[in-house]
Amino acid sequence: MPDARHTLLEAHRRLCREFGCPIAYFHDMPPLDELVSSLLSHRTRNADSGRAFRGLRARFAGWEAVRDAPVAEVEAAIASCTWPEAKAPALQRTLRAITERRGALDLSHLADMPPEEARAWLEALPGVGPKTSAAVLSFSTLRRRALPVDSHHHRVAQRLHVIPAKLAVGPAHRVLEAMLPAEWDAQTVYDHHEVLMLHGQKTCHFHNPACGRCVLLDLCPTGQARRAGPPRAEAPAAVTPP
């Protein structure tokens, strides 16, 4: 039986062939913008978090204005995302913490730091977890080597038995990234996240996964078990910090 790393890399190869790697970056935003976008996206559909982000940009002159505004105004601007009453004060706390540590709302220093140091710096901010730190490094104009793991990516890795069923999304970041070849560059790591996420969205659904048309079925113990017998309900994924 192939080991977890072999399974993961073979899944990457097949999914890259299916979705067409390299995949274009979907954002081209400075790291501070990406940080705000990522914080708004937690447990929120992309369309809704995108609308909340645009609401902030339309209502305020800049991130300093968001930081210093009455919290009720920020909450109103991000009403389209989930839990705006919690995200508004949390976002302001994060922006204030950056200002205190940097003297300004500026994350340009991350470009000169090794990725692991940059992620540690970000994760020391209130409200920033491994997914957000990886997203800032990978998705922003920094274009650094970091692996975000969203719920789709995480679900596919669990069903392939690449990671244990009870490993939450947060800790899974380090485990999954450690399996990737050291020679992979930022684009390849980004592709890896994107193809696993896309597979989760398009085929490996949370409910009723389309195992019959899955290109990974022969690698997937979960899919093979589903095909062999009646489907079984899965426990909801553990909620972890962004």
194 shares a domain with 177: yes
Please check whether residue 117 lies inside any domain of the structure: yes
Task: Give 13's pLDDT tier (boundaries 50, 70, 90).
Answer: very high
159 shares a domain with 109: no
The pLDDT value recorded for residue 232 is: 53
Range of the domain at 133: 31-139
DSSP class of residue 28 equals: -
CATH of the domain at 107: 1.10.340.30
Which of residues 86, 121, 139 is at a domain's end? 139
> How far is C-alpha 131 from the geometric centre of its chain's CA atoms?
5
Residue 72 has pLDDT above 80, yes or no: yes
What is the total residue count of the chain?
242
87 shares a domain with 17: no
DSSP letters for 62-120: SHHHHHHS-HHHHHHHTTTSS-HHHHHHHHHHHHHHHHHHHSSS--GGGGGS-HHHHHH
57 shares a domain with 14: no
Please check whether residue 144 lies inside any domain of the structure: no
Residue 240 has pLDDT above 70, yes or no: no
Q: Look at the pTM and tell me if it is higher than 0.75.
A: yes
Please check whether residue 241 lies inside any domain of the structure: no
Q: How many domains does the chain have?
A: 2
36 shares a domain with 131: yes
Task: Give 1's pLDDT tier (boundaries 50, 70, 90).
Answer: very low
| pLDDT tens, position by position, 187-209 | 999 999 999 999 999 999 999 99
Please check whether residue 233 lies inside any domain of the structure: no
The whole-number average pLDDT for the span 69-89 is 96
- Region for residue 42 given its phi and psi (left: phi exceeds 0; alpha: psi -120 to 50; beta: otherwise): beta
CATH of the domain at 168: 1.10.1670.10
In the chain, DSSP finds a helix count (H) and a strand count (E) of 12, 0
